[in-house]
Structure 1
Amino acid sequence: MTPSARLSASIDLLAAMEAAPRKPADAIANSFFRERRYIGGGDRRAISALVWDVMRGWRRLGWWLAQQGQRPTPRLLAGAQLLFDGMSVQDVAFLYVGGRFAAGKLSPAEQAALAALDGQELVSPAMPRAVVLEVPEWLLVRLEDTFGKDVERELEALSTSAPLDLRVNILRSTRTEASRSLAREGLHAEDTTLSPWGLRLEGRQPVTASAAFREGLVEIQDEGSQLVAAITGVEPGMRVLDYCAGAGGKTLAMAMMMENKGHVVACDVSEPRLEGAVKRLRRAGVHNVERHLLVEGDRWAKRRSGSFDRVLVDAPCSGTGTWRRNPDARVRTTQTDLEELLVKQAAILDRAATLVRPGGRLVYATCSLLRAENADQVQAFLGRNPQFSLVPSLSPFMPEALRERDMVALTPARDGTDGFFAAVMERAES
């Protein structure tokens, strides 16, 4: 594709995201490229890079355009991003050449708006603090409550692009062997510092085309997510429930920890997500997992009350910890969304707790950075359920520095992972 065609496709993708503000950007991008299979891998990466850079700087770019009296249209957002990336205003304008495979020519007003940005820095001293930090005002207050004086450092880290983390499947390989397999195809990975199974690659890499991925030696999974599985401390022979399993990332990790011995049940309210786990389970060589779709009026949970050694609740949340990968969530999440999530999380925790056997453990996790979804949610649950208490994980798969904690919070700035939270609670024997 020509540079003009790449820009045009980027604008089209941004427009598709603007038209579906409640749908995750990665899902829109997947559909966009699936419908345009003629776009090659290199072009896809270039288009995605520009679009995700726009999403990371959405509020700041919009602020600059507002100073010129312009609405932040996909055309102007993409052009402004290219300017702040270092292109000259003449070179940017040249990309809007019109025709079948290029963006339409800039109007005089658009030209003037972009010309006014030439030579400017993306961050201006005149910007409101919430704009500089790329968060809504209401959410900045909550993040300040979580991080205090470190909030700017953490939000800056969330504005960077995330590395590509892999979890080595020790049912099929070792970390050394998997790393060598990747290296043979030009994919050079480093061991992660916290997860005992993790490998890290920088930038976007074609991992899914590699033999290591196809043969089930590795799975794509952030190091923080790997540690959520690790903190459960599951062992071979246990009965384990992944209550909000989604497509099964943590299910796979726990089955691996259990050496395919015992029984894991992966539950979710979404049939497509559970179906998405089938191919992953087969590729990983996992055969001790059962899938169950949770539906209204289902008596499945009642029949299995108090029967699981471990119950993991990876609860639906605001996703603030994944902003490096999902910068669109900064724009999509509203205060109403958070209030609804807090109610949902509490209800899910209470239901899942009934499935834990006496002496068993309930692990609550989110990919959120907000105290309201994490420690506050746990303390409220313990107040309603005095038969549970916080206990240290003591899982041998956890780093020694985190092993004796009953609540673990990970952040991009401090730990180099996505933002994750996990708490371990044990049910009294009687």
Structure 2
Amino acid sequence: MNAQQLDLTAAALAQVLTFRQPADVVLSAFFRRERKLGVRDRQEIAETVFAAIRHLQKIQMMLSRPHNKPRRAALAALILGRGLSVHAVESLCDAEEKQWLVELKQHKSDFAATLTTAAELPQWLIECLQQQDWDENQIIAYGRSVMQAAPLDVRVNTLKGKRDKVLVALQAEGLRAEATPYSPWGIRLYDKPALNRHPLFLDGVLEVQDEGSQLLALLTGVKRGQIAVDFCAGAGGKTLAMGAMMAGSGRLYALDVAEKRLANLKPRMVRAGLTNIHPQRIDNEHDARIARLKGKADCVLVDAPCSGLGTLRRNPDLKYRQSGDNVQALQQQQQSILQAASALVRSGGRLVYATCSILEAENQQPLNDFLAANTGWHIEPVHTLLKGIALPSMQGDYLQLNTSEHHTDGFFAAVLTRIK
């Protein structure tokens, strides 16, 4: 990193570390303003900004209110997160900054001895995990696992290709790629190629989708000719996977409150060759436009709005933008959406409740509240639905993916069948 890149990184961190907006949104706006920056400059700045977020607990131990001292935060990120030595960055420092970095390095044992810095998780989140009986080793293992940037998982569109053949083709191009261990459709790419320009992506053979998200689609069990609903479809990653499972037949309704997200789904549908998907913007979960589907759906997937704490590899700033109060507010929304979505399921149909969270407050609790208030539902043990997929640490009837154990994003899923 050169002096100009350091100054620009500090300017970006002064905004990012307030956590008023998502880090990627702040950086995108920053780069739009700094139009003269080259690709290498942007890469250096972005990597150092995210290194600062991933190591913020340690930086905060040495530097109160780091957004007010962003230059030191940037220098600390180079040492802690990008593995540079003090000697390697001394040309960027004055004497006082160099001494501060030396002291930072000397606190290595203190960082390891304190749970917040050892796990790189804020106190509020640690307390949530302790309340669900996670011990220190589990917390540290999870925290360290989400400090690593995620590889790129893609899903092979089974309407247009077979995983084995696609994998061989990617490896023949020199890409470091392997089959995902659990999803039968997934390929994991480790060097993050520019996939949006790849012929297999442009032809709709490949879609970017985390392996955990692929498993959620698999749990829906949708088949040809059925009626299915993706109740919180977003940009439609799971919708597209379900559409392929249905072989482009039947009717698949993609519902969401955000028109922009649904607009992003439409070109992806075309690329995937799917004509059975029907995007529909709704005002909320009680929108009258979904009443016509009441009791008609063979399957409804509810990937509920949540804290997103299972995606910290990709969005490390979420642990600083969320809070215990936010989680409580989300619980009420999750319960309301689950209740509304359940009304669409026919007798004998399937309801899948899912989040990308690791917190029981967003996972088992809303589900338990729903089952307490609604009779006529049977829990389907997930291991019986994922036959032939040997997921480690599977406990009970639900799916709980943990980055430290499964190397996916953190996901929860429960599958219910309406029995009357």
TM-score of the two chains, using structure 1 as the length reference? 0.88
Name the CA distance, whole Å, in 2 between partners of 1:40 and 1:71: 25
Aligned equivalent of 1:282 = 270
Aligned equivalent of 2:415 = 424
Shift of 1:303: 2.4
For 1:26, which of 21, 24, 30 is the aligned residue? 24
Residue identity over aligned pairs, in percent, reads 38
Shift of 1:89: 3.6
Give CA-to-partner distance per residue, 1:385-411, whole Å, 9 cap, x none.
112221135446772559997411011
Shift of 1:142: 1.7
Aligned equivalent of 2:77 = 81
Contact 2:239 2:254 in 1 (8 A): yes
Contact 2:230 2:253 in 1 (8 A): yes
For 2:250, which of 246, 256, 262 is the aligned residue? 262
For 1:323, which of 312, 336, 343 is the aligned residue? 312
Contact 2:111 2:117 in 1 (8 A): no
Mapping 1:218-229, distance limit 5 Å: 218-229=206-217
Q: Structure 1 residues 36, 122: CA separation in 2 closer, same or farther (over 3 Å shift)? A: farther
Q: Structure 1 residues 71, 308: CA separation in 2 closer, same or farther (over 3 Å shift)? A: closer
Name the CA distance, whole Å, in 1 between partners of 2:110 and 2:216: 39
Q: Structure 1 residues 205, 52: CA separation in 2 closer, same or farther (over 3 Å shift)? A: farther
Aligned equivalent of 1:129 = 115
Tell me the amino acid that sits aligned with residue 269 of structure 2.
L
Tell me the amino acid that sits aligned with residue 213 of structure 1.
F
Q: Structure 1 residues 177, 77: CA separation in 2 closer, same or farther (over 3 Å shift)? A: same
Name the CA distance, whole Å, in 2 between partners of 1:346 and 1:423: 14
The gaps in structure 1 that reach 5 residues or longer are: 97-105
Aligned equivalent of 1:57 = 55
Shift of 1:27: 2.9
For 2:100, which of 113, 118, 141 is the aligned residue? 113
SS of the equivalent of 1:148 reads: coil
> How many residue pairs are counted as aligned between the two chains?
414
Structure 1, 399-408 or 366-375: larger mean CA deviation: 399-408
Aligned equivalent of 1:140 = 126
SS of the equivalent of 1:80 reads: helix
Give CA-to-partner distance per residue, 1:291-312, whole Å, 9 cap, x none.
1111157311222211111110
Name the CA distance, whole Å, in 2 between partners of 1:72 and 1:60: 16
Name the CA distance, whole Å, in 1 between partners of 2:218 and 2:127: 32
Structure 1, 4-13 or 384-393: larger mean CA deviation: 4-13
Matched, 1:177 2:174: no
Contact 1:320 1:368 in 2 (8 A): yes
Give CA-to-partner distance per residue, 1:375-429, whole Å, 9 cap, x none.
122111100111222113544677255999741101111111111000001112x
Tell me the amino acid that sits aligned with residue 381 of structure 2.
P
Give CA-to-partner distance per residue, 1:98-128, whole Å, 9 cap, x none.
xxxxxxxx6x7655533532x4355625864
The gaps in structure 2 that reach 5 residues or longer are: none
Tell me the amino acid that sits aligned with residue 5 of structure 2.
R
SS of the equivalent of 2:299 reads: strand
Name the CA distance, whole Å, in 2 between partners of 1:56 and 1:37: 26
Q: Structure 1 residues 140, 27: CA separation in 2 closer, same or farther (over 3 Å shift)? A: same
Tell me the amino acid that sits aligned with residue 389 of structure 2.
P
Name the CA distance, whole Å, in 1 between partners of 2:5 and 2:148: 22
TM-score of the two chains, using structure 2 as the length reference? 0.90
For 1:44, which of 42, 51, 75 is the aligned residue? 42
Q: Over aligned residues, Cα RMSD in angstroms?
A: 2.6
Mapping 1:11-410, distance limit 5 Å: 11-18=10-17, 21-36=19-34, 38-66=36-64, 73-84=69-80, 85-89=82-86, 91-95=88-92, 110=97, 112-117=99-104, 119-120=105-106, 122=108, 124=110, 128-146=114-132, 148-149=134-135, 150-295=138-283, 298-393=287-382, 394-395=384-385, 399=389, 406-410=397-401
SS of the equivalent of 1:352 reads: helix
Tell me the amino acid that sits aligned with residue 250 of structure 1.
K
Name the CA distance, whole Å, in 2 between partners of 1:70 and 1:47: 17
Name the CA distance, whole Å, in 2 between partners of 1:405 and 1:254: 25
Contact 1:195 1:397 in 2 (8 A): no
SS of the equivalent of 1:130 reads: helix
Name the CA distance, whole Å, in 2 between partners of 1:180 and 1:219: 17
Give CA-to-partner distance per residue, 1:222-264, whole Å, 9 cap, x none.
1111101111111111111000110001001110111111111
Name the CA distance, whole Å, in 2 between partners of 1:308 and 1:5: 57
